[in-house]
Structure 1
Amino acid sequence: MIKTLSIPSVIALCLAAILLITSIFFPWWGMRFYAPQYPEGLDIIVYPYKMAGDIDIVNGLNHYIGMKGFGEENFPELQFLPYIIGILALLTLITAFLRRKSLLYGLIGLFVVGGAFGIYDIHHWLRNYGTDLDPTAPIDVDPFVPPVIGENTLANFVTESYFTYGSFLLGAAFLCTLFPLWRDRKR
């Protein structure tokens, strides 16, 4: 006998698909740089399809420690990430309409793997940028790896890394996919 999902579970999955698509239009992650000369902070804001904020100023400052410049062209993920999220939303809707619990398990697995890979990818780029410094740079600093979430201090700069609105929408979408496991646990 095929285990089917209840109507409330189907609604939760449809909501998850809507949240996934909506997340594309909001920033997912960011960094804010504070220093005495920048008390208001400088921002790098990462959307799933572009980067925004004070990138030119941050790149100008990072040049002094020999760090490569940030730019959308350096992050190929930004070219295809919205499509991956769109496909995940489509798979979520397919799971909702077919109402099969077995498909739900696969969908949750995709969410977990995708989330883990996303965090790994951010860490990879932070490590790459913080450890591949030009040895001929005007200011000599030891290689460093800023945290994915949290605070880091380098010279007179304090950097805060954080997830933001788009990531919260992704988290809410994930919770919506878990809801059927609870709701239909005895079905």
Structure 2
Amino acid sequence: MKKAGIIMVIGSLLLLGLFKYPLWNIMLGAPQYPEPLGMNIHLNGIQGVEEFDLQNIDGLNHYIGMKTIPKAEDMWEFAVFPKVIIGMVLLGVLIGILGFAGKLSYKFFLGWFVLMTVLGVLGMYDFNNWLTDYGSNLDPHAILKLYNPDGTPMTYKPPLFGHQKLLNFDVTSLPHIGGYLMFIGMSLTLVAFWVGRKVSLKTAK
């Protein structure tokens, strides 16, 4: 179980990368913007990829009635998510240490992974809801009012994952370094479970 415990600790600690690197990235490219505009979603707020990106995105969005990009204090998520990650890191390290010492079953490694997966799904659901509101809750007095062929107002929700065409913009939404570190860390906790299970079954024979 010692090897499994070490892997569990390493996997949990990789989540700390979210405090340095962005979790997600959204890029907007168009012919009139040789250098695409972008925003990085961090645990504690949204930042532009380049210095004036958020300002430029807000300027464009103003014409079609979209809200300005929220500041950290405008969304409760940016206050809660860092605490959740710290809590999961501490819990994972504790489970790993106890597993290393033989005081805890390898099944707790899987329990941590399931809990983190549930929290991740809830986080993505909340993020998607924000994107939906951001792209569809438009100012009725906007300068430009565009409509779909069926006469319904056009919405501008960025994709949760992947690429989408919005007017003349190509919008791409993908995980950033922090998101990949989280995925690797969670995968390692599954490896820890598998290694711990293998050792446990071998010992039981």
TM-score by length of 2: 0.84
Residue of 23, 28, 49 corresponding to 2:23: 28
Match status 1:56 vs 2:55: yes
| Aligned equivalents of 1:136, 1:12: Cα separation in 2 | 55
Match status 1:121 vs 2:126: yes
2:184 aligned residue: 172
Secondary structure of 1:95's counterpart equals helix
- The CA RMSD over aligned residues, in Å, is 1.4
Structure 2 residues not aligned, in runs of 5+: 147-153, 201-205
Note closer, same or farther for the CA distance 1:103–1:181 as it changes in structure 2 (3 Å cut): closer
Match status 1:91 vs 2:62: no
CA contact (8 A) 2:8 2:92 kept: yes
1:85: how far off? 0.7
Secondary structure of 1:133's counterpart equals coil
* Greater C-alpha radius of gyration: 2
Secondary structure of 1:39's counterpart equals strand
Secondary structure of 1:51's counterpart equals strand
1:137 aligned residue: 142
Number of residue pairs the alignment of both structures matches: 182
1:147 aligned residue: 159
| Aligned equivalents of 2:156, 2:28: Cα separation in 1 | 15
| Aligned equivalents of 1:185, 1:17: Cα separation in 2 | 18
The one-letter code matched in structure 2 to 1:153 is: K
Residue of 178, 183, 187 corresponding to 2:195: 183
Secondary structure of 1:44's counterpart equals strand
Query: Bigger shift: 81-90 or 97-106?
Result: 97-106
| Aligned equivalents of 1:185, 1:106: Cα separation in 2 | 13
1:119: how far off? 1.3
**Aligned-residue identity in percent:** 32
1:163: how far off? 0.6
| Aligned equivalents of 2:54, 2:76: Cα separation in 1 | 17
Match status 1:19 vs 2:31: no
1:59: how far off? 0.7
Structure 1 residues not aligned, in runs of 5+: 1-5
1:71 aligned residue: 70
| Aligned equivalents of 1:60, 1:146: Cα separation in 2 | 17
Residue of 20, 38, 57 corresponding to 1:43: 38
Secondary structure of 2:67's counterpart equals coil
The one-letter code matched in structure 2 to 1:59 is: D
| Aligned equivalents of 1:140, 1:153: Cα separation in 2 | 18
Secondary structure of 2:197's counterpart equals coil
Secondary structure of 1:185's counterpart equals helix
The one-letter code matched in structure 1 to 2:81 is: L
